[in-house]
Amino acid sequence: MTLTRENKNLSSEKSLQTIKSFAEKYANKTNTYFCIDPSVTAVVIEGLAKHKDQLGAPLCPCRHYEDKQAEVKATYWNCPCVPMRERKECHCMLFLTPDNDFAGKQQQITQEDLESARANI
Ligand code: SF4
């Protein structure tokens, strides 16, 4: 059987492109960089896009929540979260300051990198 986007439980193409575009623009705006390992960036973007599909908002995908809908309403962990907006702290390693050992030189991610990470989810 061929696995489709739906039965692999992946995000929609629309949300994926929306989050990709947001992440690229936001990195540029905040002078932050994507991880040297693009699969890290790709997995976080996929997680944000999936939450956007499921919850209507890009709730941070790197945390555990008792009640995701309540967290979306609280807004604190909707990306970009408060720690990122206030202190440039992204514990998902999506947005890294240039002095971070894991920061690469890219503020963009290719479609190929996104798809190859999604193929392994
Ligand atoms: S830690 Fe904050 S900025 Fe980083 S992906 Fe999660 S919500 Fe977005």
Give the Å distance between the CA of 110 and the centre of ligand 1. 20
Q: Each residue of 86-112: pLDDT tens digit?
A: 999 999 999 999 999 999 999 999 999
Question: Is there an atom of ligand 1 within 6 Å of 36 CB?
Answer: no
Q: Is 78 helix (H, G, I), strand (E, B) or coil?
A: strand
Substitution candidate for ligand 1 out of 51, 63, 93, 95 with most atoms within 8 A of CB: 95
Nearest-angstrom CA–CA distance, 26 and 68 = 24
Nearest-angstrom CA–CA distance, 44 and 61 = 7
Displacement of CA 24 from its chain's centroid (Å): 10
The mean pLDDT of 2-7, rounded to a whole number, is: 57
Average pLDDT over the chain, rounded to an integer? 94
Question: Is there an atom of ligand 1 within 6 Å of 77 CB?
Answer: yes
Q: Each residue of 34-53: pLDDT tens digit?
A: 999 999 999 999 999 999 99
Question: Is there an atom of ligand 1 within 6 Å of 80 CB?
Answer: yes
CB distance 52 to 58 below 8 Å:
yes
Assign 70 a pLDDT band (cuts: 50, 70, 90): very high
- Lookup: tokens for 60: 């941070």
